[in-house]
Structure 1
Amino acid sequence: MEEITAEPIVVEIEAPGEILLNSYATHQLTPRIEAQVIERHARLGDKVNKGQLLVTLSSVTMSEAQGQLLVAENEWQRVRKLGREVVSARRYQDARIAAQQARASLSAYGMTQSQIDQLASSDTIENANGRFGLFAPLSGTVIRDDFITGQMAQVGSLLFEISDETTLWVEAKLAPGSANSIQVGNPAQIMIDGNWMPGKVIQVHHTLDETTRTLAVRLEVSNPNDRLHTGQFVTARIQNGRSEERGMVLPLNALLRSADGDWQVFVEHEPGEFEPKEVEIVRHMGGRVQIEGLESGSRVVTQGAFFVQSELAKSGFAVHNH
């Protein structure tokens, strides 16, 4: 039962949409130097944590850079112990720069700072074996791992793609005229498996799709329990937030057809006593409708209207009204 009064009319625009990855929460792992895949530590579909080792690689280029660090670090430590009073300023400066450059090279090639520090603190040349790891830059799900152990991975070739799928994007396609009324932050919802899920507008594109001549509006939607998957097609409803109109609004399932085919609702005129009232639909708004034909303050059956109609019919009451 719901007492209805005039309320602001929220106009919704309905459009088809597609679920996409949240690109701002997605990361691709690629080697910065040519390297051989030695061992994988994660697989497609795995949940990984930020900083987790994903793959071990080996590279001749990395081995040479590691060896240069050991030499440069050894020289720098020797010069620093001797001090500025013993060695020339030029030698002191050159040793420090060489060590810094060796560290920078290893960092640029893909070693982490902790790996570099560990290597620099060792005096064993055998540690310059060219091995290094790639680590997860964020917590998420492995959604691509297109490589095999033993292959040579070229610079920039994709080894892993990881995405945090707790929030996903929906790209809705709207006619340009409709999209012009949409603003960032407007509430939205999408239909999935017969249920509506809330979201919001985060971006409105500024260029038309050359094929469909539509304008894309990007929504952000939470993804509890991994219910949503990229590539799924959905129906999106977006509030344009500009209407100042007021009217009577009811859930769609509060309306039933009378025997004459007219729309009607059931109004409680006395506690536990109901009568049908004919109404007109002004507009559909998702799962709700704006109607005319009722007085403000009317108490309307919003759940179980079909049951009320059936009971009235059984009692011999005419469930139509003119």
Structure 2
Amino acid sequence: MFKLITVAIIYIALTLYIPSKAISWEDEHIHIEKNTEQQDLLKHDETLQITLTQTQQELANITVGKLQSKIAHVRTYAPGELKANGYTSYVVSPRTDSVIMTRHVALGERVKQGDKLVTLYSESMAQAQGDYIVAFNEWLRVKNMNALAVSESQRIQAKTRYLASLGKVTALGLTDGEINKLNNNSNLKLGQHNLYAQINGVVLQDNFSQGQRINTGQTLMLLADETNLWVEARLSTSDNQHISSQSTVEIEHLKHTYQARIIQESHTIDPVTRTRTVRLQVNNQEDRLHAGMFVNVYFTQPTAQPVITVPETALIQTAEGLWQIFIISQKNHFVAVNVKRGRQFDEQVEVIGIAEGSEVVTQGAFFISSELAKNSFDIHNH
């Protein structure tokens, strides 16, 4: 009987003890798993931060700066072509059907105002010159006669015919000097007349041959004053930057830079090139630029709001395609922070997702990234 009681007590004790130990083991197992997760998380964080000695920073030439928001300047590129200034250019053309007798200048030649360009012959001019000579001499005769010899009506008619004939030869292109020769009965070949330069400039077009018959208004030459030229810049429609008359503009040709200003902006899109044209004016006093040249055009305009920017050297792109910068969380301690890359401003880049006032690495970020990669490799291999 005693033995049975003893066995029963031992059995009950064992039954109560074993479940207690099992529960305790489960709790311990859960605790271990939680500690493992925390260690993994800690390991993950360690791959985004690193501590460098002052000597390491000096050898790597690491530079740190504080982020500040400020107005940045957007630089936009467009191809451009130099054009003659349409407001100062002059088209040389006859005012009556004519035949070209003699040319006096050639393509590309510089001329001064008043220089003879071409000599023409015209039947209409010959008739107009003859009518003027008759009307002028008749007016001189009548004007000097006393009131008893000629009526007032005859005097008015003579003066009117003279003024009408004077207006006609003037409209056909005779100069005051050529008209004075008609007045003086100089030995002139009626029908011949000259076209003269009305501005100082360069002969940009020369579309005729001697002996050629030309029509009224047909362009013979184009004279251009190249001290001020136009630039037609073509902006892509994908570039949504607003170009205003206050924008700073530079044009570049053969490593020379020239300041320009906006004078016109087209609001229509070319259906073929899908570009819009902005017309500029550039000073060309040194005569280095000429119509027909192709140039690079750079527009610079301020942002509407302050932005945070960093040098290009501050940004690191990860294997996953993310952009990172390194901030200083405490002395000699650097932490990688993901940011969004924004607009480009010359050598500065807009960054989004970082607080103003943060101290960031502006130079030497590549070295820090390499050290982080080595540390990450060591951690995962251990």
1:140 Cα deviation from its structure 2 partner: 0.6
- 1:151 corresponds in structure 2 to 212
**1:66-145 alignment to 2 at 5 Å?**
66-84=129-147, 86-116=149-179, 118-124=180-186, 126-127=187-188, 129-145=190-206
Separation (CA, whole Å) in 2 of partners of 1:263 and 1:197: 38
Q: What are the Cα deviations for residues 5-45 of structure 1, in whole angstroms up to 9, with x where unaligned?
A: 97642223222222222211221111111222222111111
Separation (CA, whole Å) in 1 of partners of 2:189 and 2:130: 5
Separation (CA, whole Å) in 1 of partners of 2:219 and 2:201: 17
- 1:284 corresponds in structure 2 to 344
Larger Rg: 2
Query: Is residue 123–residue 191 contact of structure 2 (8 Å, CA) maintained in 1?
Result: yes
Separation (CA, whole Å) in 2 of partners of 1:237 and 1:245: 22
The one-letter amino acid paired with 2:171 is: A
Q: What are the Cα deviations for residues 195-239 of structure 1, in whole angstroms up to 9, with x where unaligned?
A: 432211110013221212322111112235433333333321113
Separation (CA, whole Å) in 2 of partners of 1:95 and 1:179: 69
Separation (CA, whole Å) in 1 of partners of 2:240 and 2:292: 22
The one-letter amino acid paired with 2:80 is: G
Query: Is residue 251–residue 260 contact of structure 2 (8 Å, CA) maintained in 1?
Result: yes
1:246 Cα deviation from its structure 2 partner: 6.1
Query: Is residue 173–residue 214 contact of structure 1 (8 Å, CA) maintained in 2?
Result: yes
- 2:278 corresponds in structure 1 to 217
Query: Is residue 6–residue 249 contact of structure 1 (8 Å, CA) maintained in 2?
Result: no
The one-letter amino acid paired with 1:245 is: P
The one-letter amino acid paired with 1:233 is: F
Q: Which runs of 5+ in 1 are unaligned?
A: 265-279, 297-304, 310-318
Compared CA separation, residues 84 and 127, structure 1 to 2 (3 A): farther
**1:310-321 alignment to 2 at 5 Å?**
none
Separation (CA, whole Å) in 1 of partners of 2:237 and 2:303: 16
Helix, strand or coil for the counterpart of 2:80? strand
RMSD: 3.8
- 1:245 corresponds in structure 2 to 306
Separation (CA, whole Å) in 2 of partners of 1:221 and 1:23: 13
Query: Is residue 261–residue 280 contact of structure 2 (8 Å, CA) maintained in 1?
Result: yes
Tell me the TM-score normalised to structure 2 length.
0.62
Separation (CA, whole Å) in 2 of partners of 1:151 and 1:226: 33
- 1:232 corresponds in structure 2 to 293
1:90 Cα deviation from its structure 2 partner: 1.2
Query: Is residue 179–residue 217 contact of structure 1 (8 Å, CA) maintained in 2?
Result: no
Q: What are the Cα deviations for residues 102-136 of structure 1, in whole angstroms up to 9, with x where unaligned?
A: 111111111123322x1342135x42521111011
- 1:23 corresponds in structure 2 to 86
Separation (CA, whole Å) in 1 of partners of 2:221 and 2:153: 45
Query: Is residue 11–residue 243 contact of structure 1 (8 Å, CA) maintained in 2?
Result: no
Separation (CA, whole Å) in 2 of partners of 1:249 and 1:73: 82
Q: How many aligned residue pairs are there? A: 283
1:84 Cα deviation from its structure 2 partner: 4.1
Separation (CA, whole Å) in 2 of partners of 1:66 and 1:99: 12
Separation (CA, whole Å) in 2 of partners of 1:244 and 1:85: 88
Helix, strand or coil for the counterpart of 1:82? coil
Query: Is residue 344–residue 350 contact of structure 2 (8 Å, CA) maintained in 1?
Result: no
- 1:188 corresponds in structure 2 to 249
1:158 Cα deviation from its structure 2 partner: 2.0
Compared CA separation, residues 179 and 37, structure 1 to 2 (3 A): farther
Higher-helix-fraction structure: 2
Query: Is residue 70–residue 119 contact of structure 1 (8 Å, CA) maintained in 2?
Result: no
Separation (CA, whole Å) in 2 of partners of 1:85 and 1:288: 93
Separation (CA, whole Å) in 2 of partners of 1:112 and 1:65: 14
Tell me the TM-score normalised to structure 1 length.
0.73
Query: Is residue 82–residue 230 contact of structure 2 (8 Å, CA) maintained in 1?
Result: yes
Separation (CA, whole Å) in 1 of partners of 2:347 and 2:149: 86
2:225 matches 1:164 = yes
1:147 Cα deviation from its structure 2 partner: 1.7
Query: Is residue 261–residue 281 contact of structure 2 (8 Å, CA) maintained in 1?
Result: yes
Separation (CA, whole Å) in 2 of partners of 1:89 and 1:8: 80
Compared CA separation, residues 51 and 242, structure 1 to 2 (3 A): farther
Helix, strand or coil for the counterpart of 1:11? strand
The one-letter amino acid paired with 1:158 is: T
